[in-house]
Amino acid sequence: MSNHPNSKDGYVSLDLTDDDLDCYRRAGMGEEFAPDDPHVEHLTALGLLIHDPFSGRPVPADIRTAEARLRREAEQSAAGALRRMELIPAVVEALERERSRSLQASEPFGGEFLTGTELVNDIISRTTDGATHEQLSAQPGVRRPEVLARALERDAKTLRRGVMSRMLYAESARGSDALLEYVIAVTGLGAQVRTTEEEFSRIIIVDQAHAFFEDRGILEEESRGAWHIQHRGTIGYLIQQFQQRWVRARPWYGAGLTSENAISSPFQRSVLWELEAGADQKQIANRFGVSVKTINRAVADLRMKLGFKTPYQLGPWWLQSEERNLTEPPPPPLARWP
């Protein structure tokens, strides 16, 4: 390692100028140089010139000795660079870990407790009015007709703006005429509604940024109010809980299932029937006269509509879905002519 002005990364530069080479030639001829000659200093730092102990003049060093020295320094430099490269992932990982901790520590709880029905409804309305992407809601009970009327007015505006909406109700809610009318209206505007026999709490999540849920206290049956949460980690957990119940729930089409209000298209249902029969994408593509890419795109589009993460989740959904009754299963393939 060197502190010479011509050094790079601690090592003396091997870039020799014409003046450096002229200096080397002149030193070999025994010429004298000024004590602070920069070219002599550069060549000496490289070990290419040494000072003669008798004359005090710079003279060329043995070339093979100088070569060995340069190789040794280069190898040390390369080994050091490799060690630095090996350390970079660990350094980055440590920095990311500490950065994440600092963000978590500095991020506020992001929650406020709301009391009173009017206040809760006002905050929820203002938040949903600003929704731009997605709205998730879970309603364990059956709401009164006047409450549903207000909700329909609000939700219809949200759906007409193109916001994706998924609503979860209890299985017993299917017996409510008022709720049936509401479901008919919102599914007609593009909402997805499902029912489940599992127990769940009332919650609304807007754009993955706002969550509203009841606070019943500990071992209390009556609601004491609602929490409005904006903490990213908490909202992520609540979305995960919603999604787990959603994939196990049963679709509710309100007015009755038709090809017009079904989630899947006739083509997608035909593909699912073929997959259920054991055909692969290539066989289905040949049978339908389309490309494998078209088959894969149809499956991917349906998966995204249903909110599934993997295509494997389509199997259980298809087996219990009423939509399978909208399209006849394919006839068995013709037997080969003997």
Q: Which residues pair with 210 in a beta bridge?
A: 206
In percent, the amount of the chain with pLDDT more than 70 equals: 86
Number of H helices, E strands in the chain: 11, 12
- For residues 216 and 322, membership in a common domain is answered with no
Same domain, 51 and 142: no
Q: Higher pLDDT residue, 240 or 97? A: 240
Q: What is the side-by-side strand order in the sheet with 111-114?
A: 111-114, 226-229, 210-214, 203-206, 134-139, 164-170, 192-196, 250-251
Please tell me whether residues 138 and 200 are part of one structural domain.
Answer: yes
**How many separate domains does the chain show?**
3
**CATH assignment of the domain containing 270:** 1.10.10
Residue 155 sits in the same domain as residue 228 = yes
In a domain, 276, yes or no: yes
Query: Nearest 5 degrees, angle CA 121-CA 122-CA 127?
Result: 95
Within this chain, do residues 118 and 213 fall inside the same structural domain, yes or no? yes
Where do the H-state alpha helices sit in 107-142? 117-129
Query: pLDDT-derived band of residue 1, with 50, 70 and 90 as boundaries?
Result: very low
**Domain range holding 15?**
7-61
pLDDT at 222: 56
Question: Burial code of 138-166, b = ≥16 C-beta within 10 A, e = fewer?
Answer: bbbebbeeeebeebbeebeebbeeebbbb
The verdict on residue 166 lying in a domain is: yes
Q: Dump pLDDT digits (tens) for 51-84.
A: 888 788 899 988 888 888 888 888 888 888 888 8
Indicate whether 118 and 240 sit together in one domain.
Answer: yes
Residue 196 sits in a domain of what CATH number? Answer: 3.30.870.10
Task: Give the pLDDT confidence of 164-205 residue by residue, as tens digits.
Answer: 999 999 988 888 888 888 988 888 888 889 999 888 889 999
